Structure 1
């Protein structure tokens, strides 16, 4: 048994030699040192960093606290108590240091000192539920144990607070050998669970086991196309999210909502539309406007919305951004129904001025029969010489956009003055 214990001691010593040491990293800035200690998640590495931090910053209360906590996790209670006491000395309002002292006094069989430490810390932080439960346990132990029985090399709470003469404790080694029969300490962990509601998903580790007091890993709520992130089920709106200083289990869901755009419809005189003004439309949705031109007027639409006329209904489909549509109403001219008596040499083609190299008068047109008024024509286009020009606009008077030879044209017809003429079949 003796041989086994010696091997265990060597293992502990060897492990401490293998711990990463960040040598003269700790030179001046205690705040930076404290931050590096707090960001380290590996318990062994964190203890090594805290040990060096105490050397570099012996008067820093939080570095002493971190070192004491790491010693406590490895059951080095006497040494941990000293550094909890140092943390309280350098920051008398640091409530957690008194709670740490209370825990160590209990482990060392000093319930009377534990009661005093817990009571002092709770006077600073009365809402600390765990400390309240520990105080009740310390009082229970105090009733079971005769007062005055304690180790002389452990500083009492009264001595620490100047209520009795302080005794100089015997020097203690930094690392204590742990007997083989003792199981390694089990860290308290909490479970973090993240879920997504309809319209999105979670990027990252959705189920995390985190040591108490440590930080969880980052997760991101990612909305689907057409949705946006709103909030987590616990009311938080940060995204990405990191749960810091975990002290309990956490289960939350990300909430998403459809993206809503605004379609604005405007109208001029001589007509009306049903649904003018602004209308909300979800991503990819559709909206329609019933168009009502005044008597003798025809409607047209322009703007940033991508839509089309379907009879008297103007449809805008697959909305992916805010947009505006403007409806205007133009008068329909009273056109002659026949071209009889119109001389080809006298024809004026209104849109021909935009055809390169073609005169606006004396153009060669198709045979002027049969005919129909411009407002009634089913097809659009202009023939100038042997070239067929297609024009924009419902009344045939818009700008010329493209051309083809007469033999290539798919739509037949010609405009003579204010009359649209269909040529006779070949």
Structure 2
């Protein structure tokens, strides 16, 4: 397996452009199933996850064409005909979000058989809410031998669905199915993440009728068909936040561009509280920090948007390892999302985990060591820590990293980081 090697101690100075959001792109790709006309997505990230989903869409007979257009990377999806509605385990297991093809396949064709998903091991994350929502829309659902078979021969029927707790995946999946259901669907206690708003606005551009975008109540009036459109993927707020933390960890001055700083306000507020200088710009932020001045310990609690994102928790924990004092991090979204803590400990961090709480006692120095990525966000937290650690840090199992960060080594190296990819076998230690 590939590894990432980082020699710490170099301050960062330069510019980092942000790519399109992975968590938006993969749901927009699923939306291509809903129309027989072309859907062109610009500002498209080129990631392992988008490649996985592209292969799955091709399994259904959808033409997927990547190119470089006037606005950068783009991909054209054309589902002129759906030749198969079967999503096999070998494809779905590679990325959890690929389960979200079930709803649009059902809405367009009236039937589908999709494998239960795989994905990162950061918690149970069951798909019960997805299945229950589709059943409430009138689908006949059957689970057998690791697959979900669904039938809606007369189409889906609009209804009212109140989610028992906020779920990004279930909100997106139900939205993808409900836009072509007969009648009106009301989604209550819906998630409000920016990626959901991006998906909803793209669907509206395709002819869907959706009210309440960016609120916790979505009202969808079903339409009989959708048409093609061109849509620019929203900037990746998690990538933006990760590089902001990286700049603060290493010290120096980094201009982050092609981004929307309001999407990570909860993070930047905490970084400012910790002593980081953050200056908003027209298309991003400038992050500055004097590495000779210690950070201040800050407590955070992960919450649904617009609260502090669980996808930025690991990165912020890395930052707090060098803060003066003790910070307490509460994880309220995923129960297994402290798996990076022991790996940070290998670099000399002092972290005490109990249930959903991590206490981080800041140390003066980290020291490079071999570490192993356990999931996507944990992998970038280890890279961030390595930027400030003395000596060399090697991060193994970086296939996790490749799922969500595009050209990471190139972007950090352009700002002076000493980071490189090592090709090879082994378990990543």
What is the TM-score of this pair, normalised by structure 1? 0.22
Larger gyration radius, structure 1 or structure 2: 1
What is the TM-score of this pair, normalised by structure 2? 0.22
Say which structure, 1 or 2, has more relative contact order (CA 8 Å, 6+ apart).
Answer: 2
